[in-house]
Amino acid sequence: MSLVVKGGYVFDPLNNIHGEKMDVFIQDGKVVEEASGEARVIDATGMLVMPGGVDIHSHIAGSKINIGRLMRPEDHRRAPIPRGPHTRSGVGYSCPSTFVTGYKYAEMGYTTVMEAAMPPLGARHVHEEFHDTPIIDTGAFTLMGNNYFTLKYVKEGDMEMLKAFMAWLLGATKGFAVKIVNAGGVENWKWGRNVSGLDGVVEGWDVTPREIITMLAQANEELGLPHTIHLHCNNLGMPGNYRITIETMGALSKVRPVPGRRRTVHVVHCQFNALAGDNWMNVRSGAQEVAEYVNRHKHVSLDLGQVIFGDTTTMTGDGPWQFALHNMTGNKWVNSDVEMEAGAGVVPYEFKPGNPANAVQWSIGLELALEVEDPWRVYMTTDHPNGGPFTSYPQVIAWLASRQARTETMRTLHKACLKRSGLADNYREYSWSELAIVTRAGTARALGLDSKGHLGVGADGDVSVYDIHPYKWRPSQHRELVKAFRYAAYTIKGGEIVAKNGQVVATPQGSVHWVDTRVPEDVEARLLEDLEEEFKKYYTVKLSNYPVQDYYLGKNVAHKPKEVWR
């Protein structure tokens, strides 16, 4: 049960290790000082060794991705995956089936992936699909920004009940973090409308997005949850929206963070929310303005939502935005409203190199990554599959590490990319340590997953070994980099070799991470009384049938916040 990764160049930024030649020992699934007895040896001489990848934002399980799978047979036909000696068959390019999702992440050296939007009523579906997604550890973020009870307690200004509800809902859905999507806008979508601005009115509630977001953020910190609020800002996809993004970040600067962290918000797939200009004809990059704000304020982190050219499937809890996208493209569209709590839409989309707006969008993601100075607060994602499928991560890594890779892509794009963004003027190239931060160390830290994203003693035995020599590689060799990160030489999950040279060789079940937080008994009693009454009046399910049963979870890790109820 023990294993040693021998002689590789280790990049473990959380432990201040930056490319030292050293051995990593794993015993009984955990990193140890030195393995006792006979250990299996993996020769990593001349290779790059990092903790297993940790994806902070992806759509891999539950209703939205499944709608994508259902509505896009063409996506299945494009990528049939035959069964292998250790794997099942599957299909899908932008909406891969569950098993394939686990395999493809493992092949790239990723071992933990967070599903970024779980509607509470659809929680069972998410957990069922987690169960069918092999190898990787998972967790899901529970949608709360347009929930009936959130709106009710925000309207009443009842912080105690809001906190009690959030804690209860995380437990009831076995969720890991608080997700907010277009606060108030999805509620207004019930009347075919959206909200205008942070101070727009939510129909029938007399509350504003600003009030919803700041109160949820404050409650999140008071509950001491491992992750900050995970925020999809208002006005997503609308030119000029970089202003509301900065305004939203500003509103959250006054929230008091839980002791031990400075952050109060993670802004998701920021590329879609860093657009300048007035319309899609003259849209330009607002990345510099957003990055400038982030550089000056420590309470914000963000992820990219990097665009990948080609066909993909967009899916988000932002129902009104998906309707707008359907109108813009004429592509097929599915709307999915979830009674009392959330909504979603799914629309196929093709990012085209010759399209000026798409070329600008491509540059915005990379500009954000390069202009934000602190890699601990900007993470690599494609908002799979919205910007593009997660299988394109190696290409994004190459763009970050090689200016030549960016230039070569830029030459194939509409010239708007050069004229309406500052990307061409940016010479920064990510170091190996920075790459390790934006793909595992930083994301694990932001999520509050203490045993992930590093290789210190006691960490989970999740390791990726890439066949690339960190001191001989040059940015001109960006194609080699893509290849190395696409097919990890070894992916080790919990001390077991799960992939070798990009081939899955074992398919253990991963763990589901969730937050188990308690509230004082008297407060919980008051909450349950209120829930019971409202459920009877408005829900189509009984309260007693609502929480996800424990047996849905299987293997899991319950995170108990230290700072409960202050």
What are the residues binding Zn ion (CB under 5 A)?
A: 116, 383
**How far is residue 71's CA from residue 59's CA, in Å, rounded to a whole number?**
16
| Nearest partner of 77 among 69, 88, 85, judged by Cα | 69
Find the shortest distance in angstroms from Cβ 241 to Zn ion.
16
Nearer to Zn ion by Cβ, of 116 and 212: the residue is 116
Residue 276 · residue 283 · CB < 8 Å:
yes
Based on CB atoms, which residue is closest to Zn ion, 24 or 231? Answer: 231
Which CB sits closer to Zn ion, 116 or 252? 116
Q: From the CB of 232, what's the least distance to Zn ion, in Å?
A: 7
- CB-nearer residue toward Zn ion: 326 or 420: 326
Of residues 116 and 167, the one with the C-beta less far from Zn ion? 116
Q: Which residue has the tokens 């349950």?
A: 528
Rounded Cα distance between 78 and 375, Å, is 35
Residue 272 Cβ vs Zn ion, minimum distance, rounded to whole Å: 9
Angle 99-100-101 (CA atoms, 0-180°, nearest 5)?
90
**What is the sign of the dihedral through the CA atoms of 227, 229, 235 and 239?**
negative
Gap between the Cα atoms of 374 and 229, Å rounded: 20
| Least distance CB 443 / Zn ion (angstroms) | 14
Residue the block writes with tokens 């309406």: 420
**Helical H segments across 330-469, by residue range:** 356-371, 393-401, 403-410, 416-419, 432-436, 442-447
Within 59-190, strands assigned E span 80-81, 90-91, 110-118, 137-143, 177-181
Q: Shortest gap between Cβ of 75 and Zn ion (angstroms)?
A: 18
Nearer to Zn ion, 116 or 338 (CB): 116
Q: How far is the CB of 57 from Zn ion (least distance, A)?
A: 6
Residue 502: left if φ>0, alpha if ψ -120 to 50, beta else—which one? left
In the complex, what is the shortest distance from the CB of residue 114 to Zn ion, in angstroms, rounded to a whole number? 10
What b/e readout covers 295-308, taking b as 16+ CB neighbours within 10 angstroms? Answer: eebebbbbbbbbbb
CA distance 169 to 492: 33
For the record, the structure tokens of 556 come out as 């899991």
Q: How far apart are CA 183 and CA 153, in angstroms?
A: 14
- Closest to Zn ion by CB, 123 vs 258, is 123
CB of 117 to Zn ion, least distance (A): 6
Answer whether the bond into residue 259 is a cis peptide, omega within 30°. Answer: no
Q: Rounded to an integer, what distance in angstroms lies between the CA atom of residue 437 and that of residue 261?
A: 17
Of 127 and 232, CB closest to Zn ion:
232
* Nearest to Zn ion of 27, 245 (CB atom): 245
Q: Give CA torsion, residues 239, 245, 247, 252, to 10 deg.
A: 170
Question: Please, what is the minimum distance in Å from the beta carbon of residue 116 to Zn ion?
Answer: 5
* Secondary structure of residue 535 in the 3-state scheme: helix
Nearer to Zn ion, 59 or 127 (CB): 59
Closest CB to Zn ion among 367 and 383? Answer: 383
- Nearest approach, Cβ of 467 to Zn ion (angstroms)? 31
User: Of the two residues 116 and 401, which places its CB atom closer to Zn ion in the complex?
Assistant: 116
Contact 358, 423 (CB under 8 A): no
User: At closest approach, how far in Å is the CB of 383 from Zn ion?
Assistant: 4
Residues shown for the chain: 566
Most distant CA atoms of the chain, gap in Å: 67
